[in-house]
Amino acid sequence: MRISKTIIFSIPALIFGGILIYFLLWNLFYSFTNWSPINSNYKIVGFATYAGIFASQHFQSTLTRTLMWTGGMFLAGNGMGIVFASLIFFLKNPRLRTIYSSLFLYPLAIAMSAVAIIWSWIYSPSEGIDTLLKYAGLPTFGFISNSAQALPSLILITIWVYSGLASVFYLAAFQNVSSDSIESARMDSAGPIVILRKILLPEAKNAFIVSSALLIIFSLRIFTIPYVSTGINPKTETSVLYLFNFFTYGYYAQAAAVSIIVIVIAIIVVIPYALFGIKRWINA
C-alpha cells in the first residue's frame, strides 16, 4: 500500500520530469544542426555550432559577465543574508522579527520588470541618486549610464532582491540552534558577534548550501533586469540575453547551443553542491 501511494504521488513529478527531459533532448538535437530561417532544410553539423560559439569573443565576454554576476550574488547574497538574519535573530521583540523578515522578503514579491523600472529611476542621472549627489556637491557615479558602472549597478539590484531569501534560510538555521548553548554563552559574557561566530554560523552550514545553490541558479538565469534596465547593451549582456538575441534573429541552432552550455554550467556548479548538501543531511 505504501509503495502504491509513493507511485501515485510521484506521477506529477514523473510527468513534469519527462516533459522537461524531452524538450532538453529536443534542444540538444537542434544544437548539432544549422537550423535557421535561411536554412529551412537544416542538416546535422556536429560540434561546428558549439565551436563557432566558443570561438566568438562576444560569447566569451557574455560568459565572463555571467560568471561575475554569479560570483557577486554568491558572495554578497550570502554575506548580506547572514547580516540580516543576525540582526533579526538578536531582536527581542517577536513582532519586530516577523515585520523585518517580511520586509526582507518583500523584493521577491515584486515582478522583476517592476524592480528593473524602479531601480532605473533610482539610477537615473536626471532624477535619481546622482541628482542628489550633484546638489550636495559630491561626485556622481553614472550607474547604468556609465559603461564601467552599469554591470556592478545591475548586480547590486539582484543582490537587493535575493539577499532577503538567503536571510530567511540563515534565520531558520539560527532558530534551530539550541537555546541552552546560546544562554550559556551569554552567561559567559559572550556578545552577539561571538555567539554568531562560534555558535550560530557553525550550525548554519545547510542553510549556506541551500542559499548558495539558489543564488547561483538565479544568477545564471538573469534576463529581465538587464533587458529592462539597459536593453541590448554589450556592457551588461549576459549569456541568457545572448541566447535571446540568437533566437530573436532566427539563429535557432546557436540559441539551442547556448542554452545547452548554460544548462551544463548550472549542472556542473549546482549538482555537486546539492549532492554534498544531501549527504550532510543524511549523515546528520
If you average pLDDT over residues 275-283, what whole number do you get? 58
What is the pLDDT, as a whole number, of residue 125?
A: 82
Contact (CB, 8 A) for 72 and 216: no
Q: Is the pLDDT of residue 280 over 80?
A: no
Q: Is the pLDDT of residue 64 over 80?
A: yes
pLDDT band (50, 70, 90) for residue 70: very high
Q: Which of 269, 230, 273, 274 is nearest to 63 (CA)?
A: 269
Q: Where are the domains of the chain?
A: 56-283
What is the pLDDT, as a whole number, of residue 258?
A: 93
Q: Is the pLDDT of residue 114 over 90?
A: yes
Q: How far apart are CA 170 and CA 176, in angstroms?
A: 10
Q: Assign a CATH topology to domain 56-283.
A: MetI-like fold (1.10.3720)
Going by the DSSP 8-state scheme, the letter that residue 198 receives in this structure is I
pLDDT band (50, 70, 90) for residue 119: very high
Q: Is the pLDDT of residue 170 over 90?
A: yes
